[in-house]
Amino acid sequence: MASIPWDKAAEQELARVPFLVRSLVRNKVSDRVAEKGGERVTLADFREAEQKFRAVMGGKGGKELEGMMPAENKPGAPMVDIEICHSELSGCPNVLIKVSEWKQAVEGWIKDNDINEKLRRRVKGGRILFHHKLKISISGCPNGCSRPQIAGIGVVGFVRPDVDQEKCTACGECGKVCPDKAITVDGAPPVFDRQACQGCLACRNICPQKAISLSLPKARVLAGGKLGRHPHLAERVAEVETPDALTAILDSLVNAYLDGADPDERFSDYFIRRRR
């Protein structure tokens, strides 16, 4: 690890980096400059490296980065990482469930059932790493912007479309716009492939006759998603209408994991093994 001086301007730019990764950035930039034969870090050196560091950070803020870094294995350590889509901040036109309410219910379930501590006790050794944590992702619609398909547990808002056959003129616009190719129109009112339909707003929004109506929003619960050496997309396990119903499913999934998982077995690996 190189130890070389920094120009004042470079130090000022470094001060803007989140505290939790600032020392890492300093060391990486210093090493990079030393490898090129430099004797001090200039502002130009820092800016040259900045884009690469931004890519590594992935646009995450300090709190998110803190959750990804190793932590001491002691009571009170957070063991559940909850990610939600940004639909409420962005005013997303596709949103079907209010993700903040569902997240609040999950947080209440975690606290009331001491889930963090139950998961922490499974960790051997003095450090908690990111892969030890249970990832729960909540997305307001089937677009899945919070990546529920690769989370240990995913929650996805959806609706079920239905057609008023008296209003329908079989124009076929709904079939053309369906992103899931789940609608067949052949000179008659549309037929929905319920297995393929992920439950968005597209067909209802395009219908010129207003012949398509939607059910009340629900949430589809997924489990077993992960990346890594053996990636696996999360599988559907339930459909729920309320946050309280979701927490009952979470309770069943997590307690089964706590009772039946092998030592050091991660949640998704356990889920996949039991489904086979």
Write down the domain spans for the chain: 8-57, 73-159+217-275, 161-214
Give the integer Cα–Cα distance in Å for 115 and 188. Answer: 52
Structure tokens at 173: 């616009």
Q: Are 30 and 2 in contact (CB under 8 A)?
A: yes
Distance from C-alpha of 139 to C-alpha of 220, rounded to nearest angstrom: 10
User: Topology of 73-159+217-275 in CATH?
Assistant: Sulfite Reductase Hemoprotein; domain 1 (3.30.413)
- For residue 269, the SS3 value is helix
pLDDT given at position 59: 52
d(C-alpha 192, C-alpha 132), whole Å: 41
Whole-number Cα distances in Å, 163 to 167, 181, 191: 8, 16, 9
Q: Which two tokens stand for residue 151?
A: 């989370």
Contact by Cβ (8 Å): 103, 84: yes
Q: Are 161 and 149 in contact (CB under 8 A)?
A: no
Cβ partners under 8 Å of residue 210, min gap 6:
167
pTM: 0.77
Would you state the structure tokens that stand for residue 201, as one six-digit string? 């707003």
Instruction: Tell me how far CA of residue 270 lies from CA of 52, 73, 257, 260, 267, in angstroms.
Output: 35, 22, 7, 8, 5
Q: What DSSP letter does each residue of 57-120 carry, written as one string?
A: HTT--HHHHHHHS-EE-STT---EEEEE-SHHHHT-TT--S-HHHHHHHHHHHHHHTTHHHHHH
67 Cβ contact partners less than 8 Å away, ≥ 6 residues apart: 78, 81, 130, 133
Task: Render the burial of 194-208: b for 16+ CB within 10 Å, e for the rest.
Answer: eeebbbbbbbbeebe
Query: What's the CATH fold of domain 161-214?
Result: Alpha-Beta Plaits (3.30.70)
The predicted pLDDT at position 152 comes to: 98
Q: What is the pLDDT of residue 253?
A: 98
Using an 8 Å Cβ cutoff, are 50 and 1 in contact? no
How do the pLDDT tens digits run along the chain, 276 residues long?
557 899 999 999 889 877 767 887 888 889 888 888 888 999 998 888 876 655 554 555 555 656 666 778 999 999 999 999 988 878 899 999 999 999 999 999 999 999 999 999 999 988 898 889 999 999 999 999 999 999 999 999 999 999 999 999 999 999 999 999 999 998 888 999 999 999 999 999 999 999 999 999 999 999 999 999 999 999 999 999 999 999 999 999 999 999 999 999 999 999 999 998
